[in-house]
Amino acid sequence: MRPYAFAGGAAVVTGAASGIGAALATALAGRGSNLVLLDRDAERLAGVADAVRADHPGLAVDTYVADLSDDAELTRVTAELAADHPEITLLVNNAGVALGGRFDQVTLDEFDWVMAVNFRSVVRLTHALLPALKAHRGSHLVNVSSVFGIMAPAGQAAYSASKFAVRGFSEAVRHELAENGVGVTVVHPGGIRTRIAETARTGSGVSQEEWEQGQKQFTKLLTMDPATAAAQIIEAVERRRPRLLIGWSAKVPDALVRLMPGSYWKLIARSARSPRSAR
């Protein structure tokens, strides 16, 4: 498959108001791609779009505001995107949310909220825009999973379930679309400095003390600049890489899971309890 051609193409990016999504919008525009940006945060999304328009006045930049956890809004926006943008050559399913708490500390509604945004929206958007991608041989699909789509920590049952689902879905669709000349990349970011910790929800059964401790630990992991992650994703798309691990915090767990598929958590938990790890 030939390298993906950014110039003159049209890219849909979800979760585009901040973090990796906003960085991708900037990077894609720098490569000459027209943009279709989607997020639930209208104000932040407008800021990203206005900045891109100012820097690249020759490009088309359209925005759509929708809450992907709402089934009616998801149905509406997928139909609008499919009707308005048959020229799409790149879809980046980047939007994601997090939920802290053991499985017995979260409600089924809370669990379903994570699955709706992190997995169902990926499926629905891909299904709606697949005819456009297939109509343009050489198109590409990017689905953002997580390091928690490789390993499944305690307290992240919902998030890990959604991200493992994205991984499996992406691999199957990659095999199906090969004959159509459409590439598929599944991305596993490690600790990227995004707003996901800030916007994360906490299970109804989680105590205030547990919540505060979890927030601190989660935030400490988020160290990489989103622009660095976006640059790696752009390179992976261009080179048609099927899988991308971003950062040591994704690469090390990936290696650990390969070596100890049934017992890696024992090692991680033991390390977390050691005095040295607490420094």
- Residue ranges covered by each domain of the chain: 10-278
Pairing of strands 140-144, 61-65: unpaired
Asked if pLDDT for residue 274 goes beyond 60, the answer is no
Residues 77-88: what's their mean pLDDT? Answer: 97
Q: Is the pLDDT of residue 115 over 60?
A: yes
Percent of the chain clearing pLDDT 90 (strictly above): 77
Percentage of residues in the chain with pLDDT exceeding 70? 89
- C-alpha to C-alpha distance for 127 and 201, rounded to whole angstroms: 28
Predicted TM-score of the model (pTM): 0.91
Q: Is the pLDDT of residue 211 over 80?
A: no
Token output for 63: 């925005």
- Average pLDDT of the chain is 91
Which CATH number does 10-278 carry?
3.40.50.720
Amino acid at 107: T
Whether the per-residue pLDDT at 200 is higher than 90: the answer is: no
Most confident of 97-106, 218-227, 269-278: 97-106
Task: Report whether pLDDT(181) > 70.
Answer: yes
Q: What pLDDT band is residue 193 in, cutting at 50, 70 and 90?
A: low
159 as an active site residue: the answer is yes
Residue 277, pLDDT above cutoff 60: no
* pLDDT (average), residues 194-222: 69
Confidence of residue 106 (pLDDT cuts 50, 70, 90): very high
Mean pLDDT value across residues 149-169 = 95
**217-237 pLDDT tens trace:** 666 666 778 999 999 999 999
Query: Angle at Cα 145 formed by Cα 132 and Cα 60, nearest 5°?
Result: 40
Distance CA 115, CA 69 (A): 8
Residue reference for tokens 């992650």 = 229
The residues near 262 (Cβ < 8 Å, ≥ 6 apart) are none
Count other Cβ atoms within 10 Å, centred on residue 75: 13
Q: Which of 220, 221, 196, 209 is nearest to 99 (CA)?
A: 196
HEC sequence for the chain: CCCCCCCCCEEEEECCCCHHHHHHHHHHHHCCCEEEEEECCHHHHHHHHHHHHHHCCCCCEEEEECCCCCHHHHHHHHHHHHHHCCCCCEEEECCCCCEEECHHHCCHHHHHHHHHHHHHHHHHHHHHHHHHHHHCCCCEEEEECCHHHCCCCCCEHHHHHHHHHHHHHHHHHHHHHHHHCCEEEEEEECCECCCHHHHCEECCCCCHHHHHHHHHHHHHHCCECHHHHHHHHHHHHHCCCCEEEECHHHHHHHHHHHHCCCCHHHHHHHHHHCCHHHC
In angstroms, the CA 158 to CA 168 distance is 16
133-137, 217-221, 255-259: which range is least confident on average?
A: 217-221
pLDDT of residue 204: 84
